[in-house]
Amino acid sequence: MLGAWFGGVLAQNRMKAGWNVNTTRKLTITLGCLTMLPALLAMANPGAPLIAVLIMAVILFGFQTAIGNVQTLPSDLFSGKTVGTLTGFSGMAAKLGAVGLTSLVPWLTAGRQLYACLCHRSFFGHHCHVVCLDSYSNSRATEAQALMLG
């Protein structure tokens, strides 16, 4: 919530100061990403649960700062009806993608579906890495990890 507010106020302030839309959005999105990066690295070993929650709050602050400006870009570049259509298509694609990938989880984790995991990884990156490794015993996990990283 605070990150979204901050990103919007910062962008508004810079545009009122005479900055163009391109420079303003780039600055705000970059600032959000630079806020997230050290916090993401700190999450590797937070130490205590309270520290982990605080670090997650910083990550979400940076994410909200950036994503609010990313989601505003269509309205900066296109007219009203086009923005509505673009938002509708992207929202529908996101929901269908989530449903499709969620429906694949039982199949990917059943038995020894290494080939399916590797194919899935080739299309969707590292997101299935944990799903694949959890479905193998320790000896097979090392083999699967070597295949995925290689």
The residues spanned by each domain of the chain are 1-77, 80-150
98, exposed or middle or buried, with CB in 10 Å at 0-12, 13-18, 19+?
A: exposed
For residue 150, the tally of other CB atoms under 10 A from its CB is: 5
pLDDT greater than 80 at residue 98: yes
Q: Which residue has the higher pLDDT, 1 or 35?
A: 35
As a whole number, mean pLDDT of residues 22-45 equals 94
Worst-scoring range by mean pLDDT, 64-78, 80-94, 110-124, 131-145?
131-145
pLDDT category of residue 112 using cuts at 50, 70 and 90: low
pLDDT greater than 70 at residue 143: no
pLDDT greater than 80 at residue 125: no
